[in-house]
Structure 1
Amino acid sequence: MLTALGRGTFRELPFEKECGEDNICRDHLRVRLDIVGAQFIVVGSYSTLTLEVTLLNADENSYFTVVTYRVPTGLTFRKTSIISSKRRAHIECDDSKNSKYAAVGIVTCDVNHPIFRSNSTIRFNTTFDVASDVEWKSSEEISINATSDNDQRNTMGSFVARRIGVKYEVNVIIKGIESTQYINFSTGNAGEKPVQHVYRVENIGLQSLPVNVTFAIPVKIGPGMSWEQVIVNTSEGNEQDRVLTPESGQTVDWHRLMPSNNSQVCNISTCQVFVYQLQQLKHRSSMVFSLTGLVKWTKPDQVRAQELSLTSYAAVIYNTDKYIHVSQATNQFQQSMVTTSVEIVEEFNSLPIIVGSSIGGLVLLALAAGILYKVGFFNRSYKDKLLEDAGDDGPGGVPAEQLAPDTATA
């Protein structure tokens, strides 16, 4: 065994192996390989892959134990850390011998040098950076092998290989933008009105990919009311892109198309489905889709005033075996909906008010005339008496006989 004595000085120290009565060192190294987190390699910005290794020595002491990883060239060793160990342990890993152009990367980890003792177990994590600028297969193989310098080794369980799927990280979102917010109809008149629902699909990630933009549109809104002649238009596209309308009975993944709490609103008989196939949605790009149609109102006399909702649903759907969204825990940004409020208002009829007002005015006029008649307003003698009473008063309403003496004195 070599040990450092001061800077740049090494000396060989005697080292004795404990190999039992037969003086033959037999170890039995067994390894287990697990993936921490997502059970696949995610290719994206700042992606990592962490492997958990459990190493057990089920026989005599193991000397100069080494665990060797063989990984695809797109994985670069970052760090290793011990999770648990029955005894004090240390581990050192090295990938300096790898060539930049090698098809397979090799990482060697020295475990508890010089002695990994009998019946010892150690668990440790090894983390790799995932390169986004290399060509990946749909799945890659990762293997680990435990070896030592012992004279005899039981190799059963000392080698493990796993094939791991590869998925590309994407960030495609869909949201509703400026659309028709409100329309109304009257209970007395049939009619039709245009409605437009607009969605924007954005690829804000670094990965281009083919996607299907799927729309579900309610055919029937309420009794006598439907959304018809709906057309899907887009701001961009190429000749290879196309719109499909699933035939009746065709399977539609309603769970991916709309939130779970609305999954009973639409089915193949109540909603019309459009699938816009994009051969390639480029990274850092966006597209606008508009759904335009006519809401027709055909039974005005059979429905009372009420408020209805016209809701369309949209989702971006892609191959989940190859791509994974950055927000793995939710579909919130991959689904959207737009709602138009539809109000049926009671038609206002002013004729009863006009007739009622006219009759009321006539009744009041008749009552006034009756009261005047009762007090004798229309009697001629009553009028004359009023005029005589007015003529007996002098200026200022003073009787004439009171003014006569003053006039004589003068």
Structure 2
Amino acid sequence: MICVLLQGRIECNSVDSEDGVTRGKTVCSINKPIFKSNSTVIFIVSYGFNTNRDLSRKIEVTVNASSDNERHSPSSEVYKKQEIDVKYSVFVTIESSPSYTNFTFGENAVQKPLEQKIKVFNTIRPLNLTVVIKVPVRLGDKDIWMDTSSFQIPGCQSSRDEEPTVTDLVDKIKEKTILDCTVAKCRVFRCSKFMERNKDTTYTISANISSGWIQQIGLSSAKFLLTSTASLEYDENQYIFFSTTSNSGPPVHQIEAEVEVFTKPDFTKEIIGGSLGGLAFLALLTAGLYKAGFFKSKYSQMMNENEGGEAGPGAEEAAPTNG
């Protein structure tokens, strides 16, 4: 393809590289220019490339100036070469679904299963990619997960534990009810993999979460967000994250689990209230029966039965005997 640019006395013709091997070339001619001393001319040349083309790591641009009379000042610089670093755009998304569990405040030896899935999807081009997952594992002197020493994510390597950045962790958690790496010790997992274009992979956090860390916060009723993070690492000398904003860095994805704490139920008032209510009902029932004469009639019936029972044997003895 040949492009012609005409602007005043300047005419430029560009020939692109069609086979991807030969260099593209732009020739600009200036018709009979007369430049004064220290004059400057600026040429702006723009090129577009197919996003799937491999341009290696650098593009070399050379500029050569010539004139018909070949008469140049000794200080003239008529040849220049410049190398431009090439970075290839990448676009990777991270998704996860929220999870939920709950505990009763004061029960420190309880454990419940919790599972979180992190899906990583690569879009534009294949590349070596590392997903860095940080999971809170210890709050103060209490483990968040059971068997923390053997806590792992399949397909990932545990690299290290990071200490929290704040010391007043109780006040911080009470303020925001967020349990993340700012207040808790976090285990760092590195999940490295070569990912093909338009392919995805899923990493799973699956373990038993403990209730032992809840007591030290002192909130008997609350909802905490246990927040892990997932970020991306790649060769930043070769790749740049595709973004519609000015920030070309990859986002940090949050993986959240809601942990709800309930107050331990206390049935003392209900038991006392139920007992007193039962006694009151019994007293009212007794009073009602008394007013209705139930106890008086029952007493008279019992007396009559007793009198009848005593007269029976006497009558039998007084009966005459026929001889």
Q: TM-score, normalised by structure 2?
A: 0.69
Q: Any stretches of 5+ residues in structure 1 without a counterpart?
A: 1-75, 83-88, 235-242, 251-263, 381-410
User: In the aligned structure 1, how far is the partner of 2:285 from the partner of 2:51?
Assistant: 97
Which runs of no fewer than 5 residues in structure 2 stay unpaired? 164-178, 297-323
TM alignment of 1:5-404, pairs within 5 A: 89-96=8-15, 100=19, 103-111=22-30, 113-118=31-36, 121-131=40-50, 135-150=54-69, 152-154=71-73, 156-176=76-96, 178-180=97-99, 182-189=100-107, 190-205=109-124, 207-220=125-138, 224=142, 226-228=144-146, 229=148, 230-233=151-154, 243-248=156-161, 265-266=180-181, 270-278=185-193, 280-298=194-212, 303=218, 304-327=220-243, 329-330=246-247, 334-363=251-280, 365-366=282-283
**Structure possessing the higher radius of gyration over alpha carbons:** 1
User: What amino acid maps onto 1:196 in structure 2?
Assistant: E
Matching residue's letter, 1:321: N
Tell me: CA distance 1:81–1:331, structure 2 relative to 1, closer, same or farther (3 Å): same
Partner amino acid, structure 2, of 1:358: S
Q: Which has the higher helix share?
A: 2
Alignment partner of 1:129: what SS? coil
Whole-angstrom distance in 2 between the partners of 1:95 and 1:246: 53
| Cα displacement (A) at 1:140 | 2.9
Q: How far does residue 101 in structure 1 lie from its aligned partner after superposition?
A: 7.0
Write out per-residue CA displacement over residues 329-355 of structure 1, whole angstroms, 9 at most, x where no aligned residue: 346864311211101111223243122
- Determine which structure has the larger strand proportion and give its number: 1
User: Measured at CA, do residues 273 and 379 of structure 1 come closer, stay the same or move farther in structure 2, by a change above 3 Å?
Assistant: closer
CA-CA distance at 1:214 after TM superposition:
0.9
User: Secondary structure of the equivalent of 1:150?
Assistant: coil
Runs of 4+ in structure 1 over 6 Å off: 299-302, 367-373, 375-380
Alpha-carbon RMSD: 3.9
The answer to whether the 8 A contact 1:196-1:290 is kept is yes
CA distance in 2, matches of 1:169, 1:197: 29
Percent of paired sites with the same residue = 23
Report the 3-state secondary structure (helix = DSSP H, G, I; strand = E; otherwise coil) of the residue aligned with 1:357: helix
Aligned residue pairs total 274
Say if 1:192 and 1:294, in contact at 8 Å, map to a contact too.
yes
1:267–1:160 CA distance, 2 compared to 1 (3 A): farther
| Higher relative contact order (CA closer than 8 Å, sequence separation 6+) | 2
Change (3 A) 1:378 1:107: closer
Which amino acid is the alignment partner of residue 274 of structure 1?
Answer: F
Whether the 8 Å CA contact 2:117–2:204 is kept in 1: the answer is yes
2:305 counterpart residue number: none
